[in-house]
Amino acid sequence: MMLPTLDLGSLAAAAATVFVFLALRRFVDFRARAKAIGPDLPGFRLTGWPLPLPAPWKRLRGVSASGRWLWERKYETFAGFGLDICSTVSALPRVWAGILVADPAVVKEVTSARNRFPKAVQFYRLLAVFGPNIIASEFDEHKKFRKAVAPCFSERNNRLVWDETIKIVLGLFETEEWRGKSTVELDHCVKITIPIALFVIGVAGFGRQVSWDADTAIPKGHVMPFKEALNVASLNLRVPMLLPRWATQLRASWAHAALAFDDLNVYMKEMIRQRRDAVVREERFDLFSGLLEAADDSKDQLTDEELIGNVFVFLIAGHETTAHTLAFTFGLLALYQDEQEKLYQHITSVVAADGTMPAYEEMGRLTYSLAVFYETLRLYPPVTNIAKYAAEDSVFTTTATHPDGTYSPKQVVVPKNTFIGISITGMHYNPRYWDNPNEFRPSRFLSEYPRDAFMPFSAGARACIGRKFFETEGLAILTTLIHRYKITLKDNPEWKGLTVEQKREQLLRAKPVLTLT
C-alpha cells in the first residue's frame, strides 16, 4: 500500500488563497465601515490600534494614532481637520470604527443619554482584575455598585479626609528630613505627594492609620506590614493588570508586587471579617467601613470579591490621581512664581494668625486654592480620553471652522456600534472655549467659565463619585504646604537660557497610562 504524498506547493497555494480571501473580506468590511461613518468626515484610516487605547509608541502614520500621541497634540488634531469631531477606522485586530469628540455640546449629549451611549466597558476590563467594580461596569451592575458606593462619600468622610490630610502634612514637617529646615530639596515631587496620598487613603479609605514613622510589625499570617503592602501595591498597579500570574515571577520587582497584592488582599479580608464579627461596631467614617455597611444593608448585597474590587478602585482613583495631580500643581507653581505668590497671599488671608489651618467648614473660602487646582486639572487631566459607544444610529451636529475664520454647522452620522472617544484634552485646550489655552492662568476659574468644556471628573450619570474626596484632599495638601514653604526650581545647568514654557515642557513631561503620570 502506498502512502499519500504531501504536496507542499499545493498547501502553500491553498494557504495563500485563504489569506487573500480573508484580506479581501477585511478590506471590503473596512471600506464599508469607513463609508458608513461618513466619507466627508476627516480623520485617520489605520492598519491597527484603536484610538482610546494606550500604545507604546507615539504614532505610526497609517498604522496607529495612540493615546500618547493624541495627548501630546491636544487640540491640534482637531484644528488640523477644521472640526471638533474626527473619525478613525482601523483594520486590525478587527475592523474598528470610531469618532473622537472635542465638542462640549456633543459631549454633553453623549454623557446625558446613557442608554443611547453606554460606557465601552471592554476598554476598562483591566481594572476588574481585583474584582467587579463601579468603573468597569455598566447598566444594572453599575447601578448596584453606585447604590452601595454613593453613601460612603459623605460629609463625615470628607471632614475626615480634611482633618487627617492636614495632620499628615504637618507630620511631614516634623520628620527628620524636614524638621527645622528652611530649605528641603527633592529630585521629584512625587517623593512627597505619593506617600501623603497613600497615608490619606490609608486612614480615610481603609480606616488604618499610616504614619511617617517606620512600621516594621508583620502580623501573623502576613509577609509584610500593612503600610508596605499598601505602598508597594499602589506603586505597581499595572503589574497584575498587564501581566499573567506566571509572568510576575520573571522579575524580582514584579514578584514583590504580586506578593504585596496578595498580602493586601489578605488584610482586607481580615478587615471584612473583623468588622462583621464585632459585637459592638465602632462608628467609622472611612470608605471601607461605609462600603461594608452599605453592602451588608443592601438588598443586593455585594460579595466579598465585589467589595474588594471597589476598594481597590478607591486605591487607584484616590491615590494615583491625587499624587500626580499635585505633582503637576507644584511644578506649575514653581514655574510661575507670580501665581504662587497670589496663592500664598490668598492662603495667609484665610489661615488664622497663629497658623492654625482652616476647619473643613471653611474650605469654601479657599477660592484661589481651588482655582489653582482646577487650572492644573484643565492642563493635566487625570484621564485624557473616555470611551463610549453608540447603541443606536445617531446624528450629531457640530461646528466646522473655515480658513477665513467663519463657522458653519455640520452634521456627523454615527452608525450603531461606533465607538466614541471623548477627548478631554481636546476640550480643555480648545481655543473656542479657553482664551490662550496653553497658558497657566488660575484666575479663569474665579468667575464664570465654560463648565461644559471642563470635564476632569467626567459628567452625567458616570461622573466621578469621589470628586469631593479628591478636591478636599488636594486643597488640604496644597494649602498646608504652600502656607509653610515656597516652591522653587533647582538651578539646573541644562535649563539655562530656556523660556518658562520650554522649562515646563521638560519638567512636566507626561504620558497617559492608567492615568496621566
CA-wise closest residue to 110 among 475, 442, 487, 414: 414
- Map 170-195 to HEC letters: HHHHCCCCCCCCCCCCCCCCHHHHHH
- Residue 281 clears pLDDT 70, i.e. is over it: no
Nearest 5°: the CA angle 125, 130, 133 is 60
Residue 346, all three cell numbers: 490668598
Using pLDDT thresholds of 50, 70 and 90, give the confidence band for residue 284.
confident
Annotated binding-site residue numbers for heme: 464
Query: 344: domain CATH number?
Result: 1.10.630.10
Residue 482 lies in a domain: yes
Q: C-alpha 386: how far from its chain's center? A: 10
Residue 12 lies in a domain: no
Question: Which is more confident, 298 or 503?
Answer: 503
Q: Half-sphere exposure of 436 toward its Cβ, with a 13 Å CA cutoff?
A: 6
Residue 410 lies in a domain: no
Residue 186 lies in a domain: yes
SS3 111: helix
Residue 240 lies in a domain: yes
How many angstroms separate the Cα of 23 from the Cα of each of 13, 15, 26, 30? 15, 12, 5, 10
The residue-averaged pLDDT of 45-60 equals: 54
The residue-averaged pLDDT of 205-228 equals: 85
DSSP string, 402-443: PTTS-EEEEEEEE-TT-EEEEEHHHHHT-TTTSSSTTS--GG
Using pLDDT thresholds of 50, 70 and 90, give the confidence band for residue 278.
confident
- Residue 485 clears pLDDT 80, i.e. is over it: yes
Distance between CA 367 and CA 228 in Å, rounded? 36
> Which phi and psi angles does 447 have, rounded to 5°?
-130, -170
Containing domain of residue 215, as a range?
Answer: 142-383+456-507
Least confident of 32-36, 107-111, 124-128, 468-472: 32-36
- Residue 54 clears pLDDT 50, i.e. is over it: no
Residue 241 lies in a domain: yes
The residue-averaged pLDDT of 391-401 equals: 92
Using pLDDT thresholds of 50, 70 and 90, give the confidence band for residue 359.
very high
Buried b (16+ CB within 10 A) or exposed e, 258-270: bbbbebbbebbee
Residue 241, all three cell numbers: 493588570
Q: Note if the pTM is more than 0.85.
A: yes
- Residue 158 clears pLDDT 50, i.e. is over it: yes
Annotated binding-site residue numbers: 464
Across the chain, mean pLDDT equals 87
Residue 408 lies in a domain: no
Residue 310 lies in a domain: yes
Q: Which residues contact 278 (CB under 8 A, 6 or more apart)?
A: none
Count of domains forming the chain: 1
pLDDT attached to residue 361: 95
Would you give the end-to-end CA distance of the chain in angstroms? Answer: 70
Strands (E), 49-193: 59-60, 64-65, 85-92, 96-101
